[in-house]
Amino acid sequence: MNDTYLNFVNSPFGTRVARSLGLPKPEVLRRYRAGEPEFGGLVAIGAGREPRLLDPLADFVASIGVTSVAHESAGLWMPLAHRHNLMTGRFEPADSGSPARLAALLFDASGIEDSSQLEPLYAFFHDTLRSLGKCGRIVVLGRPPEACENPRQWTAQRALEGLTRSLGKEARRGATANLVYVAEGAGHRMEATLRFFLSPRSAYVSGQVVRIAAGGPLRINADTHADTDAGINADLPSPFDWRQPLANRRALVTGAARGIGAAIASVLAEQGAHVIGIDIASARDALEATLRPLNGTALAFDIAAPEAPAQIAAALDDQGVDIVVHNAGITKDKTIAKMTHAAWQSVIDINLSAQERIDDTLLAAGILRDGGRIIGVSSIGGIAGNAGQTNYATSKAGVIGRVESMAPRLRARGISINAVAPGFIETQMTAKMPLALREAGRRMNSLAQGGQPADVAQTIAWLAHPGSAGISGQVVRVCGQSLIGA
Ligand code: NAD
């Protein structure tokens, strides 16, 4: 779908009109394009007291070839900055003549143990936020509050959520802000997540909180590395090709004929996976047209049919599967008083129960291999609820329950299960919405626009990544920090 307003206010004439009338001007977001560099520019790094993640953070920043500058307010950790050859300096706000626009602001808050120690966050973002460039990135690193030893530390770490979400709302020009809670001993597992949040792949993901767990059975090659923050990520083979992270993986994607599902198939294939796409028989032509250029496999099955789990298992049996993406979904909107029993039943069955039946079959038969990934597509409707969508919201909240309940059960097999919850995404599903509702859906978020199917697909690819083994049982919204259900 075309966002006429966004296109207009970004045209030379529209820019003048928007300025003179004081209209909001959503930024044209920078999105990932094959062949274009993902990282570049100047990154400002700040830290609170005793930053415990600075070693892996500095190593990572150096490895992607960007120049980092340590903020001078963090005097306590300057020796560390010098050890990592970070330039040190102070930032003047851009409008007071600072020469350099910053591509990203990274803050290591992992060592903060008391609310009285939050002040360096103020100093850092006060100095740097106005210098953050177009489509800039903010990432705050902390420790999972629930794992903190005492109430003061828990409180201070939990406080980071309010800061990060507010930064997402204050940042302008297509910038995003996200918080990553890294468990003690999981610092070496940050790279896939930092790459995602710093790159244009996460263009429409803002205001999110992600937790990376350490060690445990999720770590597949457990005997090969020590449980420290720094060190080698044993989830990944060495050397690791970051351009083809899903090489040699097989991925099943339901509802792959069009919309978000087609984008998921395409992104997973681009990252090296062999994609097996499923869609209903009437979408066979579109499914084949999607999968053919990806050298994928098209299967025309109705996922809700009683025989579907067995059919899918039989089709996958020989080689198994590493990644399962439950994307197929339908809406049949009516207020509950007017909703037919069939409309209720089919939405719950396709959007939720079919996933459970397919997973149970693939897991029981070992077809979904150990170390695998399951990713469900929920919706912000499942978080916030929506008038006229009791069936849909029930099914999508159920997807979240599925993820939460299955994550601990799958841990021993090294399988992670997560969900993405898209907000307003420009597809045929949202094109059917009445105009006023569609416009409201597009604008009521920090980026003041709808997302693209590729935004959801890139988020799923990050969760499917072998380097995302520490992330399980979580829901990541792809909604531009929507106000709905926030
Ligand atoms: P879409 O209608 O464009 O595509 C859905 C695909 O699923 C279609 O190809 C359809 O044929 C297929 N499908 C439906 N029932 C099926 C069945 N029984 N068996 C096999 N395939 C089946 O929808 P979309 O906008 O691309 O949405 C994809 C997913 O994202 C859905 O789960 C939807 O609920 C979710 N979502 C979308 C948005 C949005 O804004 N578009 C927002 C939140 C969540």
DSSP per residue over 358-417, as a string? HHHHHHHTT-EEEEEEEEEE--HHHHH--TT-HHHHHHHHHHHHHHHHHHHHHGGGT-EE
pLDDT band at 100 (very low <50, low <70, confident <90, very high): low
Token representation of residue 57: 């953070």
- Is residue 255 lining ligand 1, measured as CB closer than 6 Å? yes
CB 149 within 8 A of CB 167: no
CB 403 within 8 A of CB 419: yes
* Distance (Å) from CA 328 to ligand 1 centroid: 4
Distance 341 CA to ligand 1 centre (A): 21
Confidence of residue 452 (pLDDT cuts 50, 70, 90): very high
- Distance, CA of 280 to CA of 264 (rounded, Å): 17
- Which residue's CA is the nearest one to ligand 1's atom 12? 255
Does any ligand 1 atom lie closer than 6 A to the CB of residue 383? no
Of ligand 1's atoms, which has the minimum distance to the CA of residue 354?
Answer: 18
> Which residue owns the Cα nearest ligand 1 atom 34?
329
What does the longest C-alpha to C-alpha distance in the chain come to?
A: 67
Ligand 1 geometric centre to CA of 253 (Å): 11
- Residue 181: strand, helix, or coil: strand
User: What separation in Å is there between the alpha carbon of 351 and the centre of ligand 1?
Assistant: 9
- Better-scored residue on pLDDT, 227 or 389: 389
Average pLDDT over residues 32-46: 91
What is the number of the ligand 1 atom nearest to the C-alpha of 424?
A: 40
Does ligand 1 lie within 6 Å of residue 124's CB atom?
A: no
Which ligand 1 atom lies nearest to the CA of residue 260? Answer: 26
Question: What distance in angstroms lies between residue 458's CA and the mean position of ligand 1's atoms?
Answer: 17
Nearest Cα residue to atom 3 of ligand 1: 259
Please say if the pLDDT value at position 125 is more than 50. yes
Residues 6+ apart with CB under 8 A from 232: 188, 224, 225, 238
Contact 69, 87 (CB under 8 A): yes
50 CA from centroid of ligand 1 (Å) = 46
Three-class DSSP category at 77: helix
Instruction: Check pocket membership of 304 for ligand 1, CB cut-off 6 A.
Output: yes
What is the rounded average pLDDT for all residues in the chain? 90
Q: Tell whether ligand 1 has an atom less than 6 A from the beta carbon of residue 429.
A: yes
Ligand 1 pocket test: which of 350, 389, 429, 476 has the largest number of ligand atoms within 8 Å of its C-beta?
429
pLDDT-based confidence at residue 226 (cuts at 50, 70, 90) = very low
**Average pLDDT of the residues in 3-20:** 74
pLDDT higher than threshold 90 for residue 383: yes
| Token pair 């690791």: residue | 240
* pLDDT level of residue 217 (50, 70, 90 thresholds): very low
Q: Would the CATH topology of 34-212 be identical to that of 250-478?
A: yes
Q: How confident is the model at residue 451 (pLDDT cuts 50, 70, 90)?
A: very high
CATH number of 250-478: 3.40.50.720
- Which of the four pLDDT bands, split at 50, 70 and 90, describes residue 220? very low
220 φ/ψ angles, rounded to the nearest 5 degrees: -80, -45
348: Cβ–Cβ under 8 A, 6 or more apart, which residues?
A: 391, 394, 395, 398
Ligand 1 center from residue 327 Cα (angstroms)? 6
- In short, whether 379's Cβ falls inside 6 Å of ligand 1 is yes
Mutate to test the pocket of ligand 1, among 1, 3, 204, 279 (most ligand atoms within 8 A of CB): 279
Ligand 1 contacts CB of residue 421 (under 6 A): no
Ligand 1 neighbourhood includes 422 CB (under 6 angstroms): yes
Q: Confidence band (pLDDT; 50, 70, 90) for 146?
A: very high
CA of 182 to the centre of ligand 1 (A): 33
Report how far residue 120's alpha carbon sits from residue 132's, in angstroms, rounded to the nearest whole number. 18
**Whether the Cβ atoms of residue 387 and residue 336 lie closer than 8 Å to each other:** no
Give tens-digit pLDDT for 305-351: 999 999 999 999 889 999 999 999 999 999 999 999 999 999 999 99
Alpha helices for 118-211 (secondary structure H)? 119-128, 151-170, 191-198
Residue 16's pLDDT band (cuts 50, 70, 90): low
Q: Does residue 295 register a pLDDT over 50?
A: yes
CA distances from 111 to 20, 184, 186, 483 (A): 47, 11, 14, 31
Encoded tokens for 121: 């966050």
Give the distance (Å) from ligand 1 centre to CA of residue 217: 33
Q: How far is C-alpha 296 from the chain's CA centre?
A: 24
428 lines ligand 1 (CB under 6 A): yes
Output the CATH code of domain 34-212: 3.40.50.720
**Distance between CA atoms of residues 24 and 15, nearest Å:** 10
| Cis bond upstream, residue 293 (ω within 30) | no
pLDDT value, residue 93: 47
Alpha carbon 301 to its chain centroid, in Å, reads 28
Ligand 1 close to Cβ of residue 234 (< 6 A): no
* C-beta pairs of 183-186 under 8 Å, 24+ apart in sequence: 183/143, 183/144, 183/147, 183/211, 183/212, 183/213, 183/214, 183/470, 184/52, 184/143, 184/147, 184/214, 184/229, 185/214, 185/215, 185/227, 185/228, 185/229, 186/212, 186/213, 186/214, 186/215, 186/229, 186/470
Active-site residue numbers? 392
pLDDT in tens, 160-215: 999 999 999 999 899 999 999 999 999 999 999 999 999 999 999 999 999 999 97
Atom of ligand 1 nearest to the CA of 396: 34
| Secondary structure of residue 90 in the 3-state scheme | coil
Give the whole-number percent of the chain exceeding pLDDT 90. 73
Domain boundaries, the chain: 1-30, 34-212, 250-478
Residues 6+ apart with CB under 8 A from 307: none
| 279 touches ligand 1 (CB under 6 Å) | yes
- Write out pLDDT tens, residues 104-119: 999 999 999 999 999 9
Q: Verify whether ligand 1 is closer than 6 Å to residue 257 (CB atom).
A: yes
The best mutation among 267, 278, 427 to test binding of ligand 1, ranked by most ligand atoms within 8 Å of the C-beta, falls on 427
